[in-house]
Amino acid sequence: MTYQAGLFNGKRALVSGATQGIGAVIANHLAALGARVTAIGLGKGDGTLGAAVEVKEANVTSAQSLDAALAGIDRLDIVFNCAGIIQRGAEHDLEVFEKVLAVNLTGTMRVCTATRERLKAGGGCIVNTASMLSFFGGGLVPGYAASKGGVAQLTKSLAIAYAADGIRVNAVAPGWIATPLTQALQDDPARAGPILARTPMGRWGTPDDVARAAMFLCTPAAAFMTGVILPVDGGYMVS
Distance between CA atoms of residues 178 and 170, nearest Å: 23
Q: Which of 35, 45, 24 has its CA nearest to residue 78?
A: 35
Q: Which of 223, 188, 231, 193 has its CA nearest to residue 77?
A: 223
3-state secondary structure 109-138: HHHHHHHHHHHHCCCCEEEEECCHHHCCCC
Q: 178-187 long-range CB contacts below 8 Å, 24 or more apart?
A: 178/204, 178/205, 178/206, 178/207, 179/21, 179/22, 179/207, 180/20, 180/21, 181/21, 181/86
- Classify residue 7 by its DSSP letter: T
Alpha carbon distance, N-terminus to C-terminus of the chain: 29
144 is catalytic: yes
Q: Which residues contact 225 (CB under 8 A, 6 or more apart)?
A: 168, 170, 217
Which of 3, 144, 162, 236 is labelled catalytic?
144
Catalytic residues, which ones?
144
